Structure formats: structure tokens, C-alpha cells
Amino acid sequence: MFEEKNRILLKELVKTDFKLRYQGSVIGYIWSVLKPLMLFAVMYVVFIYFMRFGDDVPHFAVALLLGMVLWSFFTETTNMGMMSIVGRGDLIRKLNFPKEIIVISVSLNAAINLLISLVIVFLFGLINGVDISRWAFVAPLLLIELYALSLGIAFILATVYVKFRDLGPIWEVVMQVGMYATPLIYPVTLVLGKSELIGKLLLFNPMAQIIQDMRYLLTSPENLTIWQLVEQKWLVIVPYCLSFAILILGYRFFKKNAKKFAEII
């Protein structure tokens, strides 16, 4: 547990980062809503209107928006988390405090944007009459899994980035590949039609599992999940466990190297 002074520091870092995010822009915080909507509009025109992805999945437009919002949180947390320690080098050299506070503050800022965006998704879903599952109350648990996965990777990236700044462009390429390797802009059924094995393997990626589970719960049961595609139920828990394993390993890796940050930066 953080001491009171560390909780205050965390709170101030979150407030400061959130205020600075859109400082100087004309419409300010509205960008936190417009960004995912603008990206969704482009994806909708290209992949749904012209390429006809998701024709066999009800309300795939809503599913696409939901997936983009979840992916944007993952991208923001890992990218900003990676650069967070280096960006706060002056603070690290002046004060003695748990360095993980810096990475956590970045992740909480991304979480605020996620919650705002999810409200937009919910309203968009209501307008489109989506079929919300009776198991929708499980969705917050999936958000916790998403947060754990994103924060764990952010801890790892932040630690490595302190020594190797080349990690930035490398991670950018990894994220591009990861986006297309995740059933984000296309339905899982599209891959299953080509190769059932590859379609199943895709869902062992925790991000793919989270997105498909959320889509199943909040948009339509036609969004296939790992529970429906993999017969060996003991294998089904792999992506769920992997997310929290990455958080634990990432945090330990970060703590092991945190004492050297001030010397290296």
C-alpha cells in the first residue's frame, strides 16, 4: 500500500498530466471523445462500408468502435508508460519515492479517457439497438484484465526504455503488427473461414480475448469468444492468466531496476 504522501503525489501527477494533455488546444478535453470517434469513422468507411467486413455479425459497427476504444487504451498506456520515467527524470533526481507511481499515473490518465469513450460506445449502442448479454455485469472484470495487461507491459517498456531509446520506434512497429494480428477491424469469422487453427490461436492473444469477450457481452453473441472455439477448457484460461502474469513479472522487473533510474537518466 502507498503511504499517504505517495497517494497525494499520485493524485497530483494524474491531475497535472490530464490538464497538460490538451493544454493550448481550442476544444480541450473534447478531443478525448473526438479522437476515437474520428478513428472509428475512418475505419467504418474503409472496412465496413467499402470492404464489407462484419456483414455476418450484427451491429459490427458498434463492435468496431468498442474494439478501437479498448485498443486505444492499450496503445496509450503502453506508449506513454514507456516514456514516463524518462519524461519525469527531473522529478526522479530530486525526490525519493516509489518510481512505479509515475507509470501508474500515466495508466490512470488513460483509464479516464477509456471511461469517457466507453460512455460514447454505450450511447452509440443504445441508438443501434445492440443485444447486450445478460452476463454484461462481467464486463468490469475484463476491464481490470485489460488494465493489468497494459500496466504490466508499460512497466517492462518503461524499464527498458531508460537504457535503450531505440525501443520507441520498435514498439511502434510491434503495435502496428499487433493491431492487424488482433481481430479488431475484422471479425474472427473472417479468419476462421480461411483457417480454423489460426482463428483459434488468435484468441490466445490476451488483447484479442478481451476485445472479443467485451463484444460478446456488450454488442452481440455472434462475436465468437475463446470459450466457444476452444474445446479444451483448461486452455481457455491461458490468456486470462497471462495478463496478470505479465503484470506481476513487469512490476518485479521494474522494481528490480528502479534504483538505477536516477543514475542512468
pLDDT in tens, 82-111: 999 998 888 888 888 889 999 999 999 999
- Give pLDDT, residue 27: 64
Could you count the other beta carbons within 10 Å of the beta carbon of residue 30?
Answer: 11
The answer on pLDDT for 42 being more than 90 is: no
Cβ neighbours for 43, distance < 8 A, ≥ 6 positions apart: 64, 68, 185
Q: Give the pLDDT band of residue 169 (cuts 50, 70, 90).
A: very high
- Give pLDDT, residue 24: 63
90: its cell numbers: 527531473
- Give pLDDT, residue 54: 63
- Give pLDDT, residue 94: 82
CA 66, 207, 217, 144 dihedral sign is negative
Could you tell me where the DSSP H helices lie in the chain? 4-21, 31-43, 60-87, 89-94, 100-128, 139-163, 167-181, 188-192, 196-202, 206-218, 226-229, 233-236, 238-257, 261-264
Contacts 24+ apart (CB under 8 A), 132-138: 132/217, 132/218, 132/219, 133/216, 133/217, 133/218, 133/221, 135/217, 136/217, 136/218, 138/217
pTM for the predicted model, two decimal places? 0.90
78: its cell numbers: 503502453
Could you count the other beta carbons within 10 Å of the beta carbon of residue 109?
Answer: 22
> Could you tell me what percent of the chain has a pLDDT over 70?
92
The answer on pLDDT for 167 being more than 80 is: yes
Distance CA 217, CA 202 (A): 19
User: How confident is the model over 110-141, as pLDDT tens digits?
Assistant: 999 899 889 888 888 888 888 788 889 999 99
Q: Give the pLDDT band of residue 26 (cuts 50, 70, 90).
A: low
- Give pLDDT, residue 29: 63
Mean per-residue pLDDT over the chain, rounded: 88
The answer on pLDDT for 217 being more than 90 is: yes
Q: Considering only 16-20, 218-222, 250-254, which range has the smallest mean pLDDT? A: 16-20
- Give pLDDT, residue 2: 63
Contact 99, 261 (CB under 8 A): yes
Q: Considering only 39-48, 100-109, 124-133, 245-254, which range has the smallest mean pLDDT? A: 39-48
Task: Transcribe 242-260 into DSSP letters.
Answer: HHHHHHHHHHHHHHHHGGG
- Give pLDDT, residue 23: 66
In the chain, the number of structural domains is 1
- Give pLDDT, residue 28: 60
**Domain enclosing residue 142, as ranges:** 4-264
Q: State the virtual CA torsion across 175, 222, 39, 138 in degrees, nearest 10.
A: -70
